[in-house]
């Protein structure tokens, strides 16, 4: 484990990861009983977003994508208000005007979320530019999927960040590793001619690394370097975090095809459903992290079970809050247009 | 004031539109540390370019020349605004805004609303619009009508040195994104400016550029100048034309327009956008609906014709709304009573 | 030094064609510059004086059916592809006898009958168009090659990247010729990107790429020749970055104060026409006394003079021409 | 005749176009697996993966690529997944595809069809729900068509593909699964342009298109019970705009309401209103009224979204306003 992190921080990250998992599972379950519209879940990518965003300070900003739920929870946004937003309720983070695609919480460093592929990249660069110009010791993180590299916006954005040496971190969550192109009724994967995504970055003279996104320690290490580079004015960094796409995120509409995650899978192989042995046994970054912490003696099984119980209760309450919340008043449709 | 009067304390100074514009930018840089200029073509490639170069010499750290990456640097302007700067982003020739359209209309325009009011984008996007002389189909656009169909942006279309100077202050102080278009042919227009002060001209307040009783002309940007010239010609024929300049389309001072139409009973809308779904269409439709009973004759639109702007000077002159076309429309309005 | 082939082809006529083509372009652009200064030509005018080697070297290796797409500085490319100077000049002067009947002008030249499909006033805007022509070649099994010319400024545009990616993914018969003249409009490349050689981008997408001396017409001819051959053989796209320099400003009227006089004189010393002339004299294709060279230059200038005279005598478009050609099939 | 869903009618038109003309090809994200709504499903098996071509997420370049291919002889159909994403291709659309023919003085043709779906359906929020047709009407050189029934979807798509100019074929997501009778025969050459009268009436005219044409018909039914006899015109083609059909109806009814789902300000309704108010003012006995979306981005909340889309009731009220019989008077 990272020597610089105290046990409480390690356990705190574990708690956040479990909370994200339970949030997304609760949402998928809710979608089975009622129409919540189209959405995307962060299951299987918690080990990237949580340690990466844990390194940010208040005032740093992050720009996310359509797959944003995990990022917001990682920085402390209230899941109940997120769930309410996803259901279009007045109590939602965006008062029902953003929905799952645009969840934003300015006070937590998510000024706005774009669901346009590649859309947030130039904007994140702009925040980096503002920080540099305002003399603020802040960092702007841009989170995006591998598909964004197919957009010209990406190229324009990283070029400007590089030539102006801005405090921007490009964190690419590549969940298309095992696939190229789309299979029937599944999400597309990136179609890029480059051998490695990082190859596309090198001409800009921006440091670029590719890491295992399910390895909390690796994410923490590379993100730490990137944040330090940015804060000392040394310019942008590009990190590609590889993740295996969770089976439930392959269909266009997320499904709990693996069933709920049982944290006991981390220590009891026999409980793992045979159809998903590879996923729960080796790929799932959340369970890998539980095993690491158990092996390092940072937590006990009882701790994990207790954290999980709290997370489940919290998300059940979040769903209730969202369901019980009122819809916005009709006339609110015309509000928030102009300051 | 005359053009020859020397600058004096708290007196209006005669200056060109380009000078007033750049003076406004200078005041913006002086008055607010958060202001950054991103771009170098605020006055296009005209002879006034040196004024912008001088600004950069005076504020070398705050005037940035970005690469030819419209989607990249316009987006960067949005992010910079979100994070505390007041960027004035120059997209140069208005036709290039299409390279950055997703950022302007999908991102900047929507952020406040999508976030339920949490996040502001106090950015200004500047373009040089209009038929400039030989610009042909890719350097002559007036995209304001399309922008008008996009809720979330404010639209500022100055027509005089005084207006560009004063409106810029309001734009700068606004918490919301502003689309600001200058017509390339305005840069040489001269007029009085209270240069010592920097008084804001509010958005949403139309300006009666010339009072009259027979016909109302509503025009924006350079078409105000053309309309004033036409009004002068018509006065010689004994027709009294009122020229109303809304100055901003969002917000729009519809009341001022309706009040004038109630006085004159006749309306000519002059607009350099293409005719179909242009600015003139919306103004005509609004007046046709809300001043239906006051109209003594059909509303006439004088617009650019619905073709890509042709290169040849002969064709270009035929396409654009000219003084002669405006006069013809005014005469037709008078004749059809 | 302009590199002559290790074993020079014994085709002096072909070598002289290149020189004649370069002189025609030079004479054309100098004439256009003069007419612009006199107000006989209006609009935005971008000249490529000093860059003739790239257009001529590249066009000399594409066939009649191959298609070329130019950018805003495209007179040379159209002429090198075989466009008629008179109709081109008539277009620049806004005459109805011009290629586009006065509707295009300098930035939107189109001469499809000689394979010059279109040019664009939008930096990098022509690259997707050329990509589409290459795609059409594959879909229609037509065996033609598409070529796009663009400047270094295009390298910072998103469409440049998207196009490289698709050209590589689909293995399209596309030749991308980047005329890197060191300046994007008024700004040196180094202020626009940390990427020194745009060919590096192409390589990252798996596209064979080289950076060559663009003021050496034969080097261009060799590199593009290889690229065209590859494309025709189904070997996919190639990126040729030709280093060159425009001796005029970004546009006519640009005082170009952003560059040093010494830089300009350095590049004048590497004028592609003078270098190539010297090389031809060295190998004996041209006489050292200069009479043949003078004749080539004189012929070019006379041809352009004649072209200008008849172009400017051409009719101005009629107002009734205005509304034609908005649609191919005019709405009923 | 078969009863087809709109999405199936679209697929049938694509199939027919591909089968009858080798120059026709389809480019877009995920088109080989049918795209998000299945419009191109099964086509790659029949026509191969060059004519049915998956592209990267590069909207701008793909539209430009298709224009370039069209300029040299293909007849491409581009599928842009959501109309909102056309913002990423505006340069290629406005500055290139729309103008190549004109700028070249008529030398080049760009027979290009852009299939693109939009509309506020399914609580997808501000980046996946717009109606942007007014932008395209403002660009000379583009043609625009927006069908409202399965039969029209098939016939008009074939017309669009066979047209020699760039055509925006605007599909409404909310109509994909609605059914209707569609002729089985391969469509003969269908001309570009032309409105259709969905319902005849004498008291007022409602002009509409796409999904809102159905709301217009529903409004007409409601108004009939009040004794107001409404004519409903479905424009279908917005460019070229069949203004004669509108004027002819107005000469009969003397009252005009325009209903569309796009934002009212700067919308296509403004153009129609302005034209009618100028050309047929003496025929009008009441103001031309418009029903469009409010001046706001599309909200995500399903409840707010439902309020954003103009309702049947709003159209009813507008007609009453125009004929001078406000709701209060009718009870």
Smallest Cβ–Cβ distance between D101 and the set C111, C328, C332 belongs to C328
Q: Which chains touch A (3 or more CB pairs under 8 A)?
A: B, C, D
In angstroms, what separates the C-alpha of C44 from chain B's closest C-alpha? 7
Which residues between 217 and 276 in chain B have a beta carbon less than 8 angstroms from any beta carbon of chain D?
273-274, 276
CB A321 within 8 A of CB A83: yes
Q: How is residue C235 written in tokens?
A: 């070997």
Q: How is residue C24 written in tokens?
A: 């025609």
C157 touches chain B (CB under 8 A): yes
Beta-carbon separation of D65 and C139 below 8 A:
no
What is the reported pLDDT for B10?
Answer: 55
DSSP symbols for B195-258: TTS-PPPPTT--EEEE--SSEEEEE-THHHHHHHHHHHHHHHTT--EEEEE-SEEES--HHHHH
What is the reported pLDDT for A177?
Answer: 64
pLDDT at B213 over 70: yes
Which residues between 35 and 54 in chain D have a beta carbon less than 8 angstroms from any beta carbon of chain C?
50-51, 53
Smallest Cβ–Cβ distance between D73 and the set C118, C140, C163 belongs to C140
Residues of chain D with CATH 3.40.50.920: 196-330
What is the reported pLDDT for A41?
Answer: 96
What's the average pLDDT block by block, 10 residues per block, for chain A (339 residues)?
70 97 97 87 96 96 94 98 92 89 91 81 88 91 90 88 93 74 45 84 94 95 97 96 89 89 96 95 96 95 98 98 91 75
Beta-carbon separation of A63 and B79 below 8 A:
yes
What is the reported pLDDT for B36?
Answer: 92
In angstroms, what separates the C-alpha of D84 from chain C's closest C-alpha? 18
Q: Per residue in C11-53, pLDDT tens?
A: 788 899 999 999 999 999 999 999 999 988 888 889 999 999 9
CB A189 within 8 A of CB A176: yes
Beta-carbon separation of B277 and D268 below 8 A:
yes
Confidence of residue D297 (pLDDT cuts 50, 70, 90): confident
Q: Is A8 or D199 the better-scoring residue by pLDDT?
A: D199
pLDDT at D279 over 50: yes
Total structural domains within chain C: 1
What is the average per-residue pLDDT within D153-177? 96
Among residues A220, D93, A85, A333, the alpha carbon closest in space to that of C129 is found at: D93
pLDDT at B1 over 70: no
| Chain B residues closer than 8 Å to C194 by CB | none
D108 touches chain C (CB under 8 A): yes
B322 touches chain C (CB under 8 A): no
CATH number of the domain where residue C221 is located: 3.40.50.970
Specify the pTM: 0.83
Mean pLDDT for chain D?
Answer: 91
Q: Per residue in C290-321, pLDDT tens?
A: 899 999 999 999 999 999 999 999 998 888 78
Q: Per residue in C231-241, pLDDT tens?
A: 999 999 999 99
Beta-carbon separation of D278 and B113 below 8 A:
no
CATH topology of domain D2-182: Rossmann fold (3.40.50)
For residue B139, give the chain C residue with the closest CA. C121
What is the reported pLDDT for A328?
Answer: 87
| Chain C residues closer than 8 Å to A195 by CB | 206
In angstroms, what separates the C-alpha of A86 from chain B's closest C-alpha? 13
Among residues D187, D205, D174, D208, the alpha carbon closest in space to that of D302 is found at: D174
Beta-carbon separation of A163 and C201 below 8 A:
no
Smallest Cβ–Cβ distance between B36 and the set A106, A133, A136 belongs to A133
B110 touches chain D (CB under 8 A): yes
A106 touches chain B (CB under 8 A): yes
pLDDT at B328 over 70: yes
What is the reported pLDDT for A190?
Answer: 59
Provide Rg for chain B, Cα atoms. Answer: 20
Which residues between 5 and 44 in chain A have a beta carbon less than 8 angstroms from any beta carbon of chain D?
35, 37-38
Confidence of residue B160 (pLDDT cuts 50, 70, 90): very high
In the set B48, B126, B139, B141, the catalytic residue is B139
B267 forms bridges with which residues in the sheet?
B216
A264 touches chain C (CB under 8 A): no
Beta-carbon separation of D56 and A116 below 8 A:
no
Domain boundaries B15-193, corresponding CATH code: 3.40.50.970
Instruction: Look up B48 and say whether it is catalytic.
Output: no
C181 touches chain D (CB under 8 A): no
3-state class percentages of chain B: helix first, strand second, coil last, to nearest 5: 40, 20, 40
What is the average per-residue pLDDT within C51-70? 95
What is the reported pLDDT for D331?
Answer: 33
List, by residue number, the catalytic residues of D.
Answer: 59, 128
Question: Is CATH 3.40.50.11270 the classification given to domain B207-332?
Answer: no
Smallest Cβ–Cβ distance between A94 and the set B66, B116, B176 belongs to B116
Residue of A147, A150, A156, A159 to mutate for C, most C C-beta atoms under 10 A: A159
Distances (CA, A) of B6 to B14, B23, B51: 9, 17, 20
What is the reported pLDDT for A180?
Answer: 44
ipTM of the complex: 0.78
What is the reported pLDDT for B146?
Answer: 95
D74 touches chain C (CB under 8 A): yes
Domain formed by A7-334, architecture = 3-Layer(aba) Sandwich (3.40)
DSSP symbols for B37-91: EE-S-TTTTSTTHHHHHHHHHHSTTTEE---S-HHHHHHHHHHHHHTT-EEEEEE
Percent of chain D residues topping a pLDDT of 70 = 97
Beta-carbon separation of C122 and D95 below 8 A:
yes
| Chain C residues closer than 8 Å to B319 by CB | 322
Q: Is the dihedral of CA A89, A95, A100, A106 positive or negative?
A: negative
What is the average per-residue pLDDT within D156-175? 96
- Read off φ and ψ for residue A2, nearest 5 degrees: -65, 125
What is the average per-residue pLDDT within D152-156? 95
Q: Per residue in D232-275, pLDDT tens?
A: 999 999 999 999 999 999 999 999 999 999 999 999 999 999 99
Smallest Cβ–Cβ distance between B106 and the set D84, D93, D270 belongs to D84
Q: Residue C179's domain spans which residues?
A: 12-309
pLDDT at C226 over 80: yes
For residue D140, give the chain B residue with the closest CA. B307
Q: Per residue in D125-146, pLDDT tens?
A: 888 889 999 999 999 999 999 9
Beta-carbon separation of B281 and D286 below 8 A:
no
What is the reported pLDDT for D126?
Answer: 81
What is the average per-residue pLDDT within D216-233? 97
Q: What is the DSSP letter of D92?
A: I
C328 touches chain D (CB under 8 A): yes
C169 touches chain B (CB under 8 A): no
| Chain D residues closer than 8 Å to B298 by CB | 277-279, 281
What is the reported pLDDT for C306?
Answer: 97
Smallest Cβ–Cβ distance between B85 and the set A119, A133, A335 belongs to A133
Q: Do domains B15-193 and B207-332 have the same CATH topology?
A: yes
CB A271 within 8 A of CB A265: yes
Domain formed by D196-330, architecture = 3-Layer(aba) Sandwich (3.40)
What is the average per-residue pLDDT within D108-122? 92
Q: Per residue in B267-317, pLDDT tens?
A: 999 999 999 999 999 999 999 999 999 999 999 999 999 988 888 777 888
Among residues A95, A36, A41, the alpha carbon closest in space to that of A73 is found at: A41
- Highest mean pLDDT pick, A274-288, C248-262, D51-65, D101-115: A274-288
| Chain A residues closer than 8 Å to C205 by CB | 192-194, 200
Q: Per residue in C75-105, pLDDT tens?
A: 999 999 999 999 999 999 989 899 988 888 8
Smallest Cβ–Cβ distance between B67 and the set C120, C156, C321 belongs to C156
Beta-carbon separation of A183 and D33 below 8 A:
yes
For residue D30, give the chain A residue with the closest CA. A182
B102 touches chain C (CB under 8 A): no
Smallest Cβ–Cβ distance between B277 and the set D141, D270, D299 belongs to D270
Alpha helix positions (H), chain A: 7-33, 46-54, 69-74, 79-86, 120-133, 152-163, 197-201, 216-231, 277-278, 285-295, 301-324
- Sequence ranges of the domains in chain A: 7-334
Beta-carbon separation of A330 and D304 below 8 A:
yes
Q: Is the dihedral of CA B12, B13, B17, B22 positive or negative?
A: negative
Strand order in the sheet with D167-172: D52-54, D24-28, D75-80, D113-118, D167-172, D143-145, D237-239
What is the reported pLDDT for C78?
Answer: 97
b/e map B258-279, b = 16+ CB within 10 Å: bbbbeebbbbbbbbbbbbbbbb
C147 touches chain D (CB under 8 A): no
Smallest Cβ–Cβ distance between B80 and the set A98, A129, A339 belongs to A129
Residue of D118, D133, D274 to mutate for B, most B C-beta atoms under 10 A: D274
């Amino acid at each position: 484990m990272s020597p610089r992190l105290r046990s409480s921080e390690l356990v705190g990250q574990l708690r956040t990861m479990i909370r994200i998992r339970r949030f997304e599972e609760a949402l998928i379950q809710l979608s089975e009983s009622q129409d919540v519209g189209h959405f995307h879940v962060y299951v299987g990518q918690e080990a990237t977003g949580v340690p990466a965003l844990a390194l940010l300070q208040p005032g740093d900003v992050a720009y996310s994508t359509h797959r944003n739920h995990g990022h917001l929870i990682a920085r402390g946004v209230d899941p109940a208000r997120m769930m309410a937003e996803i259901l279009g309720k007045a109590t939602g983070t965006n008062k029902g005007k953003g929905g799952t695609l645009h969840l934003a919480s300015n006070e937590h460093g998510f000024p706005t979320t774009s669901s346009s592929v590649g859309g947030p990249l130039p904007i994140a660069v702009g925040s980096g530019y503002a920080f540099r110009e305002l003399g603020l010791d802040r960092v702007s993180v841009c989170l995006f999927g591998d598909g964004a590299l197919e957009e010209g916006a990406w190229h324009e954005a990283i070029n400007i960040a590089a030539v102006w040496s801005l405090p921007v971190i490009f964190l690419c969550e590549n969940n298309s590793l095992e696939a190229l192109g789309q299979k029937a009724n599944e999400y597309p994967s990136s179609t890029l001619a480059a051998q490695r995504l990082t190859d596309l970055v090198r001409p800009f003279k921006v440091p670029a690394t590719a890491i295992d996104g399910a390895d909390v320690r690796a994410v923490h290490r590379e993100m730490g370097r990137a944040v330090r580079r940015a804060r000392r004015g040394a310019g942008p960094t590009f990190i590609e975090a590889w993740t295996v796409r969770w089976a439930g995120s392959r269909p266009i509409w997320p499904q709990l095809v693996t069933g709920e995650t049982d944290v006991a899978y981390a220590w009891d192989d026999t409980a793992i459903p045979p159809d998903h042995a590879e996923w729960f046994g080796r790929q799932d970054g959340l369970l890998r992290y539980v095993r690491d912490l158990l092996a390092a003696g940072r937590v006990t099984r009882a701790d994990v079970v207790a954290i999980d119980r709290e997370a489940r209760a919290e998300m059940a309450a979040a769903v209730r809050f969202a369901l019980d919340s009122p819809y916005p008043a009709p006339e609110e449709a015309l509000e928030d247009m102009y300051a | 004031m005359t053009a020859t009067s020397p600058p004096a304390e708290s007196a209006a100074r005669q200056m060109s539109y380009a000078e007033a514009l750049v003076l406004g930018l200078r005041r913006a840089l002086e008055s607010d540390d958060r202001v950054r200029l991103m771009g170098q073509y605020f006055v296009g490639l005209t002879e006034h370019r040196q004024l912008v170069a001088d600004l950069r010499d005076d504020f070398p750290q705050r005037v940035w020349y970005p690469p030819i990456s419209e989607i990249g640097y316009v987006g960067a302007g949005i992010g910079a605004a979100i994070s505390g700067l007041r960027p004035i982003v120059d997209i140069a020739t208005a036709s290039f805004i299409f390279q950055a359209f997703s950022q302007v209309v999908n991102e900047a325009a929507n952020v406040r609303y999508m976030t339920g009011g949490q996040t502001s984008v106090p950015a200004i996007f500047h373009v040089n619009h209009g038929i400039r002389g030989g610009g042909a189909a890719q350097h002559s656009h007036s995209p304001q009508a399309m922008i008008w169909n996009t809720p979330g942006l404010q639209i500022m279309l100055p027509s005089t040195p005084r207006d560009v100077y004063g409106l810029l202050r309001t734009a700068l102080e606004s918490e919301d994104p502003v689309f600001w278009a200058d017509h390339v042919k305005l840069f040489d227009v001269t007029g009085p400016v209270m240069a010592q002060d920097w008084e804001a001209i509010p958005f949403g307040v139309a300006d009666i550029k010339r009072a009259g009783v027979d016909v109302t002309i509503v025009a924006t940007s350079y078409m105000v100048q053309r309309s004033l010239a036409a009004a002068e010609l018509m006065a010689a024929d004994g027709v009294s034309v009122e020229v109303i300049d809304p100055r901003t389309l969002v917000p729009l001072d519809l009341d001022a327009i309706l009040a004038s139409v109630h006085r004159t009973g006749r309306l000519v809308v002059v607009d350099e956008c293409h005719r179909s779904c242009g600015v003139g269409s919306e103004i005509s439709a609004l007046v046709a609906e809300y001043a239906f009973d006051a109209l003594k004759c059909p509303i006439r639109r004088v617009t650019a014709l619905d073709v890509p702007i042709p290169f040849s000077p002969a064709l270009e002159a035929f396409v654009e709304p000219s003084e002669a076309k405006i006069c013809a429309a005014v005469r037709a309005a008078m004749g059809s009573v | 030094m302009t590199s002559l082939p290790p074993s020079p082809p014994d085709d002096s006529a072909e070598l002289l064609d290149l020189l004649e083509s370069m002189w025609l372009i030079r004479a054309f652009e100098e004439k256009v510059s003069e007419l612009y200064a006199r107000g006989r030509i209006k609009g935005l005018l971008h000249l490529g004086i000093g860059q003739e080697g790239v257009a001529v070297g590249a066009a000399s290796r594409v066939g009649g059916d191959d298609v070329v797409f130019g950018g805003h500085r495209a007179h040379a490319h159209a002429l090198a592809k075989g466009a008629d100077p008179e109709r081109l000049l008539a277009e620049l002067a806004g005459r109805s006898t011009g290629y586009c009947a006065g509707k295009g002008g300098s930035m939107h030249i189109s001469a499809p009958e000689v394979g010059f499909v279109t040019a664009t006033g939008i930096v990098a805007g022509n690259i997707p168009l050329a990509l589409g022509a290459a795609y059409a070649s594959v879909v229609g099994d037509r065996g033609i090659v598409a070529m796009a010319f663009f400047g270094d400024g295009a390298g910072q545009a998103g469409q440049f990247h998207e196009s490289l990616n698709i050209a590589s993914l689909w293995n399209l018969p596309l030749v991308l010729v980047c005329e890197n003249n060191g300046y994007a409009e008024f700004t040196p490349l180094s202020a626009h990107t940390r990427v020194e050689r745009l060919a590096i981008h192409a390589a990252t997408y798996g596209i064979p790429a080289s950076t060559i001396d663009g003021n050496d017409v034969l080097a261009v001819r060799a590199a593009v020749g290889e690229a065209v051959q590859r494309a025709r053989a189904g070997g996919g796209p190639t990126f040729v970055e030709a280093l060159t320099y425009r001796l005029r400003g970004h546009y006519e009227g640009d005082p170009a104060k952003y560059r040093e006089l010494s830089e300009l004189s350095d590049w004048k010393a590497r004028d592609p026409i003078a270098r190539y002339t010297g090389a031809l004299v060295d190998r004996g294709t041209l006489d050292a006394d200069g009479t043949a060279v003078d004749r080539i230059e004189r012929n070019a200038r006379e041809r352009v003079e004649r072209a200008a005279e008849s172009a400017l005598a051409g009719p101005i478009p009629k107002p009734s021409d205005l509304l034609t050609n908005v649609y191919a099939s005019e709405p009923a | 005749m078969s009863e087809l869903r709109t999405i199936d009618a679209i697929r049938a038109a694509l199939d027919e176009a591909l089968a009858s003309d080798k120059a026709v090809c389809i480019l877009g994200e995920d088109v080989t697996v049918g795209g998000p709504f299945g419009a191109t499903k099964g086509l790659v098996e029949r026509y191969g993966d060059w004519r049915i071509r998956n592209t990267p997420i590069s909207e701008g370049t793909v539209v430009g690529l298709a224009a370039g291919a069209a300029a040299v002889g293909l007849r491409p159909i581009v599928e842009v997944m959501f109309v909102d994403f056309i913002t990423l291709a505006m340069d290629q659309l406005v500055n290139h595809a729309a103008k190549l023919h004109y700028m070249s003085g008529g030398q080049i043709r760009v027979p290009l069809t852009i299939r693109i779906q939009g509309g506020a359906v399914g609580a997808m929020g501000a980046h996946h729900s717009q109606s942007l047709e007014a932008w395209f009407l403002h660009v000379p050189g583009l043609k625009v068509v927006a069908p409202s029934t399965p039969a029209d979807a098939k016939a008009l798509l074939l017309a669009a593909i066979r047209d020699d100019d760039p055509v925006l074929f605007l599909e409404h997501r909310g109509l994909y699964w609605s059914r209707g009778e569609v002729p089985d025969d391969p469509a003969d050459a269908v001309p570009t342009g032309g409105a259709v009268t969905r319902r005849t009436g004498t008291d007022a005219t409602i002009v509409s298109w796409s999904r809102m044409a159905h709301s217009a018909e529903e409004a007409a039914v409601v108004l009939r019970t009040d004794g107001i006899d409404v004519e409903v015109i479905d424009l279908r083609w917005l460019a070229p705009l069949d203004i004669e059909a509108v004027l002819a109806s107005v000469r009969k009814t003397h009252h005009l309401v325009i209903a569309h789902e796009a934002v009212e300000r700067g919308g296509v309704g403004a153009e129609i209103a302005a034209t009618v108010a100028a050309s047929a003012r003496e025929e009008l006995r009441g103001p031309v009224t418009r029903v469009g979306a409010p001046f706001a981005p599309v909200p995500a909340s399903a409840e707010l979204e439902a309020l954003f889309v103009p309702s049947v009731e709003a159209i009813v009220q507008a007609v009453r306003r125009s004929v001078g019989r406000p709701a209060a008077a009718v009870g």
